[in-house]
Every structure is written in C-alpha cells, then in structure tokens.
Amino acid sequence: MKKKLVSLSVAFVVLLNIVVSVPFLSLMAAQPVLELGAGVSQAGVKPGQTVDITVDLGNYSDDNVPGISGLQLNVPLPKEGDGLRYVEGSAKVLLNADGNKSVSYNSETQQLTMIYVYNGQLLSKEEKNILTFRVEVTGQYDKDTVLELPIQSIAQDQENQTIESSVDTVKIPVLVENPTIQLNGEQNTGLSYDGPVTVTFDKGTATLSKDGEEGASLESGAVVDKPGVYTVTVTDAAGNQTKETFTIVAVSSISLTPPAKTQYIQGEEFDPTGGVVTTTYSDGTTQETDLTTGMCKVNMDQLGPQVVIVSYNGKQASFEINIEEKAVDSIEMAQMPDQLVYIQNESLDVTGGKLLVHYNNDKSEEIDLAAAKCEADTSVVSDSTVVTVTYEGKTTTFTIRVERGDVASIQMQQLPTKTEYFAGENLDVSGGKILVTYQGGSQEEMALEASMCTVDMDAVGQQKVIVTYGNQTTSFDIQVKANAVTAIKMEKNPQKTIYQLGEAFTAQGGMIQVTRQNGAVSHVDLTDAMCTVPDMTTAGEKQVVVTYEGSQTTFSITVEEKKAQRISMQNNPTKTTYVEGEELNVAGGTVRVWYSDGSTQDVSLTSEMCTGFDGSKIGTQTITVTYEGMTTSFDILVNAKSAVGLSLKKAPDKTEYIQNESLDVTGGKLVVHFDNGQNQEIDLTEDMCTDYDMSKPGKQTVTVQYMAQSTQFDIVVKERTVTSISLEKAPDKVEYLEGQALDVTGALVKVTYDNGESETLAVESSMVSGYDAAAIEKQTVTVQIGDQSASFDVTVLSKAPVEELTAAIDQIDLEKLTVSDRELVEKLLEQYDQMAPVQQEAVTNYEHLEAALKRIDGMEYSPYSQSFLDGMILIEGAPGAVPEGVSIQVETKALSEQMADALKAKYGLTSTVAASFGVTVDNLGGGSLGKLKVSVKLDSKWGDSEQLKAVLLGEDGSIQEVKATVTDGILSFEVDGLSDFALIKEAVPVQPGDSSSSGTTQSPNTGESPWLLYVWVGILVVSAIVIVVLVKKRSSM
C-alpha cells in the first residue's frame, strides 16, 4: 500500500508539472506578425493627377496568424501643399464581413481613419482587401520624385489582445521630367551620321520609325546602322514624352586639299596642318574634315618625292611631298668641359664637354665635345684663352684660364714702413714686399698684403708676423706697446633696433668707437657678449648697456607688437588672359604678407582686394591688390572680339502656330562668325527675335539680331477657332428678387479651341441672354461665345412677401411692447425663416424684429444657472432657455456594452472613456430647451485634457461629437437641448515599429495571467502535504 501511495503521488506531481508547463510553453512561443500590404494603381503620375491606394490583409490567410476581431488603420496625410491631398469622399471600406465598419477623414489633423469592430464573428480568412482611397499630387516638382505615405495599423484578436501588425510605407512615383535620349552618348536632334548610331534613354518605353513608317519597339542601347531618316519616341509611365530625329547617310567619295607643308628635311615628322578631307555622301551633301596623321600613310625616311595615301570612311585619295637630305646649320656649346683652368703648356682635356648641333630640318642633337676638333694656346698665362671648336665645317668657341705653376718659396724683399704699434692697432703692411719663386724657377716681386699676414696685435711685446702665400711662409718682427681704453661710444647702432615681443636680441651690424690712452681711435664691431640686454617680453623703448674693456655706453631699441609691413604676389591668378566682357576671375591667386617679425603668411586672393579691372577695356591692364592698407599688383590682358556675320544653322523645332501662341524657339541654332575667322554655335533665344506678331494670321518672317548682326526664318500663324464651351462654375448668385438685374460674378466657362487647347474664362454680361427680371419663375440663361453656347439656371422670386413683412416690422413700437406681443413677433420671425435667402437679404429692418423678441424675452425670463455633482457640472443658459418649472438632474452613469463598442468603432480600439454622465429632464411637457452651456471640472486622473472629446449619447444609440474648449481646467461645450454625454480620450495613432504609445517595450500578451501560476504552485504544495500525511498515517497503522 505504501508503494502505491508513493507511485500515486509521483504520478500526480508529474501530471501537475505537465499541466503547469502548458501556459509557460505558450508564453515562450513567438507571437505571429500580421503583415498588411499596400499598393498604388499607377506606376507613375504627374502633378494634378490622382492615384488610388489599396490596403490589403497580406498574410492573414496564413494558419499561424490569429483571427481578427478588431482592426484600425490610420493614414496621416501631409498638409496641403506638401505634395499630396486626400480626395474627400474617395475612401471606401472593402471588407465584406458584418460588424461596425467606419471610415472618416479629419480635415483639421488631416488624418484618414478606418475602424472595424466584429459583431461576434472573427474576420474571415478569405477576406483580402481592407480599404481603398484616392489622393491627388498637389506639389510642384522640377525633377522626378518619389512621395512616401505612411500607414499605421492596430489589430486585436478574439481576446481583445493586440496583434503585432505592420504596413509598408506607400511609395508614389511622381514623374515630371521628359525622358532623355542620347545618340552615340550625346543629346542631339536632327543631326546626320555616317556610321552606326547607338540609341540610349533613361526611362520609359521607346519606338523607332524609319522614313516615316510605323514605329517598332526599341530597347535602350540598341544600335541602328542602316541609312535612312529615323525618329525615336520615348514615353514614361506618366505620359511624359520625348522625340529625337536623326539621319544615317552612306559615303560616295572623298577629295583632298593638301596640307600647308609639303617640303621636308630627312627625319622631320609629317605635319597634316591645313589639310582638308571633303566627304561626299549618297544624298549629295558634303562634309569637310581636318586631315590627321592617322589618315595618312607615307615613308618619311625616303629622300625625294613621296606619295601620301589618305584613307577615310573606306575611301582613298593621295598627294605628293618632297624630302631633302639633312645637313649641319650651326653648332654651340651645350656643356663646358670639366677642366677650365690649366698650368702653362698643359694639354687640353675636353672630358665632360657637350656640343649642341643644329640641322637644317629644325632639329638638334647633343654630342660629346671630343667628337669635334678643339684648339688653344696654353703657353701664355691668361684669364681668357680662347678654345676654337670645329665640327663638319662649323665653328664655335669657349674660354679657359692659363696659370703659372705652384709657388716654391717666398722671402721678405722689403719690411713694411711701420713696425711699432700700440696693442689693438691694426697691422699696416704699407711699403712691405715679398719675393715669390715658382716651381719653374721664375720669380716675381709682389706687394705685401694684410691678408697674407697673421699676428696677435693685442699681445704686448715683440711679435712675429707670419706671411703666407701659395702655401709657403716667411716672417718679420714688430714691437707692440700696451694701450688702455679711455672711452667708448656708439659709432653705429646694430642693423636691427626694432623687435617684436619675445624676439632674440642681436648686435650684428653694430660698431663702437674706442679711444685709447694714446688718443688713438679705433672702430670695433659690436658683439652680443658686450651687451646687457633689457626685458624683451614687454613693449616699449629699452636701453642696451655696452661694456668694452671696462668702459660703458648705451643705445636704444624698441620692442613692439607684430604688424604687417609689405605684401607681394605669391601666385598670380590662373586666368590672366580675358575676352572682352568677361568677369575678373581671381581663382588660384595668392598674396604673401610680410610681418615685422620676419614671418610670412599666404592669403588667398579675392575679388574684393582687386581694383583697376575693366572687362570692356582692351589691352594690358594692371590690377592693384590692396590688403591691410598695403598694395601690390599683377597684369592681365583683355582681347577684343567682334562679330562680322550671323547665320541660321537650324530653324526652331516649331514653325507653325495657332493665333496668340507664344513664340517657341526651342531647337533653333545660330552660328556667329567673328572677324578672327572663328565661328561660335549658340542657342536661339526669344529675346533675339523681332518683327513678328503672333496675333496676326499668315506667313511671317522673324528677324534674328545678335551682336549687331542679323538673319531670318519664317513661321506660319493659323487663326484659332472655338469648338465648344461648357459651364465650369455657375454664378455666385442664382436667386434673384423680382426686378433685380442679373449678376454673373463668379461664373466660369471652359472654352476649347480647334488646336486642342482650352482656357477658363469669366462670364461677362455681354455673353449672356435669356434673363427676364420681371418673370417670376425658374429661367435658363444662355452663355454664347462665337457659335458655341452653354447655360445655367436662375430663379426669380416675388418681392411681395418682402414688402409685406417689412411693412409689418415697421409697425412694431419697441417702447410699447408687452408680453402679449410675443405671438405676433414669433409669427413674423416664422415668415422670415420661410423666405429664400435673397428675400431675407431684402428685409432691411430684420434687426428691429430681433430686438423686439429680446425685449419680450427679458420681460418673461431670467438667466438659468445650476451646478451638479458637488460642483463638477455647471449648466448655464440665457433667459428662457429652460422654461419655468422644468427640472434638470445630472448623475454619473455607466455605459452600455453596445454604446462602449460603438465608441470604440468611432474613436479607435485603444480609445478610453474618461467619464460618462446621465441627464434627466422633467416637466418639459411638449416644450423644448434652448441653447445651454455645459461646463465640466476636469479630474487630473483623466489624463491630458487636450486629447479629451465631448460626445452626446442619444437614446437610439447615436453618437454626436460637439466642439469643446478647455480653459483653466474647465471643459465647456454648448448644446441645443440635453442628453446623456461622455468625455472620450481618443486613441493615439501607433507609429510603425512602436510597441506602445508610451515608448516602452511590452512583451506579447498570450492571454495567460500570472495568478494562474500561483494557483498551480499552491495546489502542488497542498497535494504534497496531503500525500506526506497519508503516508505517515498509514505507517502508524
């Protein structure tokens, strides 16, 4: 028995574990996603056109997608002018299922909302499409654009749990650009080709027609190679179309104009400049092409007359040239030899020398100097001995220096006149001479120079003067006496006396005058070591103290801030040559600024720095550059050009017009002929054209003027005629009072002409007929333009009721009114209300009638004001709005299930009811309530007051939203009469990809609650305890 109890307990625990594990497994399962789809009805649209958008259920038919009990779509449309506009009334729910289905458009928020709430049955898996609506492309675009429209969705299953869902952004291609066609990689129209043509286009589909035949389809990149006249037509998905026409012709023959150069020297390259190939085509036209080297075949190494064969477009022609033998014209030194200094009688060595040889074919070559004959006399000492170079009968020269040999020895020939000195004096070698003996034995007496002598003139006593010349030495003695310094003064300040802050001091260039004991004055270069330097880190005038052999003097320096001192052009602008009329272009120009501290900075040249440029002034101009008050300059050249002729290369594409059309010169090409022989092709523009009148039918000659030259072309203007008219808008006023004149203000008619064009015209009085101001009836008024007509209806009403009511109102005396007059006043108001608007406008004393009613109301009633629910609700009304004896009660009231579903269907599945109130009106009898104002004191727990809406709840289940305002925590709205009402917090649209409106991430709701886990755990614990007790009890037995 014990084993059975244990087995039973184990089985029970396993069973509980299995049962408890089921909801955990469901929690772990991935939540399927409902992937909704959306598409457009057209592959491309133009501005002003509409496109239909359809949203479908996508993968709803998949078995793993939960059944749908509720679905909401939100389509936030852009503001008017941002590209798209919703076509009101175009939205339609496509679901076949029963249930609450609604679609609405909020013009204030510009959002389209569709809501479906089930009626007890899930949405069928067979359902496909959900919603369709239409938008108009309203933006203006200068290039093809893709507009994007987001669609947001919320779905719920049968447990009212949210199903994750998504809808792709709808993309609407807006096509405004005409397709681009290229022929052999270029955009050309009307050109002729002498070979295959590759046709490419950037979008759309194309057809190709030949010689006016019916066109066949054409793929981009196709090659056309048969002769003929072709037209390519490309049309894109929105109907934008481009046409291009071209011609392929065959070559019949070629002829030649020889080049300017036909005489050559052996080794020269062939020059085709000036040569022209004239090609004659099968259609009789000709074309001139500059001759190129690639067209020609000739042997330039063969002397004498040679035939040049020219091949072009499969045809050949020829001409003759003559080639003469090459000869030397002249020679010159290209590079001097390595050795240019010689000892007497030394042989010439021309190693390293190069000779430049010029030939009679305008070519040159460089050869070694050793290949030429070189002659010079080196027996004579000279600084400029001439070397003569001879090569193939031509000569040139260069010079060398011839010197004696090395010095063998020197000796004193005569002592200097002065041999006694004071210390510090400079050595004076005047009168001294030396005898120089060279290696060859020759001698030369030479005056002694101070540069040959070395001695310490500051040492006192007998001093030996060493004389050096030609690496040989000798000497003589002098006597040096002591000579103390008695005074110093500045002889010359240093070169630099102005410094920048922090700059290092330098004594370079300075000199002091030294006076010694014997009265001798000497001049000593100033050194940094002599100077005591002041503080160089502060600005101002400073004193430098100079100390020399115990004596001192001073001089001043100035320390100042860094400043610009001069400027110069570092780089001239890239462009320095201009054609008359061009603007100055300083790109590439830089200015170097030199500062007082020696630093420099390169600044980009700008047009604001430059003056002196005149694009209309021919010749060289100096442009002045100014920067930080300093100037520099550079030169530019302006060349003139002038036109001497003008011709029409191609007439405009359009030469036939309907009367009053604007002249269109698109496709027109002009050739401007200049006096320098150059031609320039330009586009024909409308402002060049004169002497035409587009309102005058017939053939006209248009004069084209450009740069004082003129040419002409013809056009034909046809008279346009009206083919139909239709009423586009009726007049603003279609009801008249007897005797009133017809007013056609606001009336518009669409006029269509025989050229297919149309325009909307305002209707004028002179266009209409058929109106009779005295005939009290509905009348048809005819609009006539030419022999075409349209019509609209007007109604003429009698003025008798107006006259009767006006007379009756005039009889009311406000001062004599009593309560008993109410019946009369209300009867007259009823007569006024029953009148047509045009009759009401004619009652000029209506305000008198209103004043009478207000006066009577003031006699009978006082204003109504009553609060409910401890001041939460306040109802107010004008006198008489709540009749005497009527009782009003307001209480909080829960909504019925049917009303709650209806509100969700209207305001979204995630909308909430902040508060709902029931209203009871007693003792009203057969009367009615007037206009009342209801004010609700808002509770903070209701959330954002800006999202609250006030709705009236009818007994028949109807829902009516009323306009409400919120001020200082009070929500107010006005109503005619009272009924139950509620405050609704509308659902906030969920953005695609968001998990909740608050921005937090939520786990998928599986429908399981945490309390279920706690229950199962409790059962498990209790069961275990019971089993243990039973086992123990059994054991005790």
Of the candidates 40, 42, 41, the residue with the CA atom closest to the CA atom of residue 236: 42
The residue extents of the domains of the chain are 2-26+1008-1036, 34-174, 181-248, 251-324, 328-403, 407-455+466-481, 485-560, 564-639, 643-718, 722-797, 800-860, 864-985
In this structure, which long-range contacts are made by residues 857-864, counting pairs with CB atoms below 8 Å and at least 24 apart in sequence? 859/818, 859/819, 860/819, 860/822, 864/932
pLDDT, one tens digit per residue, over 615-673 is 888 999 999 999 988 999 999 998 887 888 999 999 999 999 888 888 999 999 999 98
At 24, the pLDDT band (50, 70, 90 cuts) reads very low
Q: Give CA–CA dist 846/839, Å, rounded.
A: 11
Predicted local distance difference test score (pLDDT) of residue 988: 59
Highest mean pLDDT among 13-17, 128-132, 605-609: 605-609
Rounded to the nearest integer, the mean pLDDT of the chain is 85
At 1019, the pLDDT band (50, 70, 90 cuts) reads low
Q: Give CA–CA dist 233/98, Å, rounded.
A: 52
**pLDDT, mean of residues 97-124:** 83
Of the candidates 813, 893, 878, 880, the residue with the CA atom closest to the CA atom of residue 845: 813
According to DSSP, residue 108 is labeled T
Predicted local distance difference test score (pLDDT) of residue 770: 92
* Domains 485-560 and 864-985 belong to one CATH topology: no
Q: Give CA–CA dist 13/810, Å, rounded.
A: 99
Element (H, E) at 412: strand 407-414
> How many other CB atoms are there within 10 angstroms of residue 810's CB atom?
10
pLDDT, one tens digit per residue, over 321-366 is 998 888 888 999 999 999 999 887 788 999 999 999 998 877 888 9
Q: Name residue 892's beta-bridge partners.
A: 917
Residue 992 has pLDDT above 80, yes or no: no
Residue 121 has pLDDT above 80, yes or no: no
Residue 1006 has pLDDT above 50, yes or no: no
At 532, the pLDDT band (50, 70, 90 cuts) reads very high
Better pLDDT: 930 or 573: 573
Of the candidates 901, 819, 894, 897, the residue with the CA atom closest to the CA atom of residue 860: 819
Q: Are 714 and 656 in contact (CB under 8 A)?
A: no
pLDDT, one tens digit per residue, over 957-970 is 899 999 999 999 89
Residue 353 structure tokens: 């020398």
The region of weakest confidence among 140-144, 172-176, 731-735, 1022-1026 is 1022-1026
**pLDDT, mean of residues 822-835:** 90
pLDDT, one tens digit per residue, over 291-316 is 999 999 998 888 889 999 999 877 89
Residue 691 has pLDDT above 50, yes or no: yes
Burial of 971 by CB count in 10 Å (0-12 exposed, 13-18 middle, 19+ buried)?
buried
Q: Label the pairing between strands 165-167 and 34-40.
A: parallel
Fold of 328-403: Immunoglobulin-like (2.60.40)
According to DSSP, residue 45 is labeled B
Residue 562 structure tokens: 């860094």
Per DSSP, the residues of 982-1003 read: EEEEPPPPPPTT-SSTTS---P
Predicted local distance difference test score (pLDDT) of residue 349: 92
Predicted local distance difference test score (pLDDT) of residue 797: 93
Better pLDDT: 22 or 890: 890
Better pLDDT: 27 or 163: 163
**pLDDT, mean of residues 886-905:** 88
At 101, the pLDDT band (50, 70, 90 cuts) reads confident
pTM to 2 decimal places: 0.35
What residues contact 302, with CB distance under 8 A and at least 6 apart? Answer: 323
Predicted local distance difference test score (pLDDT) of residue 1022: 53
Predicted local distance difference test score (pLDDT) of residue 8: 36
Residue 1013 structure tokens: 């886990």
Residue 996 structure tokens: 């909740």
CATH number of 181-248: 2.60.40
According to DSSP, residue 188 is labeled -
Predicted local distance difference test score (pLDDT) of residue 888: 92
Length of the chain: 1037
Residue 355 structure tokens: 């000779």
Predicted local distance difference test score (pLDDT) of residue 635: 95
Using DSSP's 3-state secondary structure scheme, residue 1033 falls into: helix
pLDDT, one tens digit per residue, over 471-493 is 999 999 999 988 888 899 999 99
Q: Give CA–CA dist 232/182, Å, rounded.
A: 10
Cα 646 from chain centre: 39
pLDDT, one tens digit per residue, over 759-783 is 899 999 999 999 999 999 999 999 9
Cα torsion 336, 340, 345, 349: sign: negative
Of the candidates 301, 356, 362, 298, the residue with the CA atom closest to the CA atom of residue 327: 362
Q: Are 370 and 392 in contact (CB under 8 A)?
A: no
At 80, the pLDDT band (50, 70, 90 cuts) reads low
Q: Are 198 and 178 in contact (CB under 8 A)?
A: no
Q: Give CA–CA dist 174/43, Å, rounded.
A: 9
Q: How far is CA 926 from CA 110, 375, 772, 819, in A?
A: 42, 148, 47, 21
Q: Are 568 and 593 in contact (CB under 8 A)?
A: no
**pLDDT, mean of residues 574-601:** 88
At 22, the pLDDT band (50, 70, 90 cuts) reads very low
**pLDDT, mean of residues 914-940:** 88
Count Cα atoms within 13 angstroms, Cβ side, for 43.
8
pLDDT, one tens digit per residue, over 224-267 is 888 888 899 999 988 899 999 888 887 888 899 999 989 888 87
Span 643-718 CATH architecture? Sandwich (2.60)
Produce one character per residue of 46-73: b if its CB has 16 or more CB atoms within 10 Å, e if not: ebeeebebbbbbbebeeeebbebbbbbb
Residue 86 structure tokens: 């919703």
Element (H, E) at 1034: helix 1010-1036
**pLDDT, mean of residues 947-955:** 90
Better pLDDT: 190 or 891: 891
At 1000, the pLDDT band (50, 70, 90 cuts) reads very low
CATH number of 485-560: 2.60.40.3630
Of the candidates 435, 433, 439, the residue with the CA atom closest to the CA atom of residue 408: 439
**pLDDT, mean of residues 833-839:** 91
**pLDDT, mean of residues 806-817:** 88
Q: Where are the alpha helices (DSSP H) in 797-870?
A: 800-810, 822-833, 837-842, 846-860
Residue 954 structure tokens: 């009818």
What residues contact 11, with CB distance under 8 A and at least 6 apart? Answer: none
Residue 6 has pLDDT above 80, yes or no: no
The region of weakest confidence among 459-463, 514-518, 777-781, 1026-1030 is 1026-1030
Predicted local distance difference test score (pLDDT) of residue 77: 84
Q: Are 653 and 623 in contact (CB under 8 A)?
A: no
Burial of 735 by CB count in 10 Å (0-12 exposed, 13-18 middle, 19+ buried)?
middle
Between 2.60.120.10, 2.130.10.10, 2.60.40.3630, 3.30.420.40, what CATH number should domain 564-639 receive? 2.60.40.3630
Span 722-797 CATH architecture? Sandwich (2.60)
Q: Label the pairing between strands 170-174 and 709-718.
A: unpaired
Q: What angle, rounded to 10 degrees, do the helices at 822-833 and 800-810 form?
A: 150
Kindly report the CATH class assigned to 251-324: mainly beta
Predicted local distance difference test score (pLDDT) of residue 678: 74
Q: What angle, rounded to 10 degrees, do the helices at 1010-1036 and 2-28 form?
A: 170
Q: Give CA–CA dist 335/366, Å, rounded.
A: 9
At 579, the pLDDT band (50, 70, 90 cuts) reads confident
What residues contact 465, with CB distance under 8 A and at least 6 apart? Answer: 427, 453, 454, 455, 475, 476, 477, 478
Q: Name residue 218's beta-bridge partners.
A: 206
Q: Are 960 and 892 in contact (CB under 8 A)?
A: no
Percent helix, strand, coil in the chain (nearest 5)?
15, 45, 40
Residue 922 structure tokens: 């007693």
Using DSSP's 3-state secondary structure scheme, residue 164 falls into: coil
Element (H, E) at 307: strand 304-312
Fold of 34-174: Immunoglobulin-like (2.60.40)
Q: Give CA–CA dist 749/785, Å, rounded.
A: 10
Q: Give CA–CA dist 459/481, Å, rounded.
A: 8
Q: Are 932 and 975 in contact (CB under 8 A)?
A: yes
Predicted local distance difference test score (pLDDT) of residue 2: 39
At 128, the pLDDT band (50, 70, 90 cuts) reads confident
At 152, the pLDDT band (50, 70, 90 cuts) reads confident
At 996, the pLDDT band (50, 70, 90 cuts) reads very low
**pLDDT, mean of residues 31-37:** 77
Q: What angle, rounded to 10 degrees, do the helices at 800-810 and 846-860 form?
A: 50
Q: Are 297 and 308 in contact (CB under 8 A)?
A: yes
Q: Name residue 781's beta-bridge partners.
A: 792
pLDDT, one tens digit per residue, over 186-223 is 887 667 787 788 999 998 999 999 888 888 999 999 99
Fold of 407-455+466-481: Immunoglobulin-like (2.60.40)
Q: Are 378 and 345 in contact (CB under 8 A)?
A: yes
Q: Label the pairing between strands 354-359 and 341-343.
A: unpaired
Of the candidates 671, 699, 667, the residue with the CA atom closest to the CA atom of residue 685: 667
Element (H, E) at 22: helix 2-28
pLDDT, one tens digit per residue, over 870-883 is 999 999 988 777 87
The region of weakest confidence among 158-162, 506-510, 519-523, 895-899 is 158-162
Asked if the 864-985 domain carries CATH number 2.60.220.30, the reply is yes
At 1021, the pLDDT band (50, 70, 90 cuts) reads low
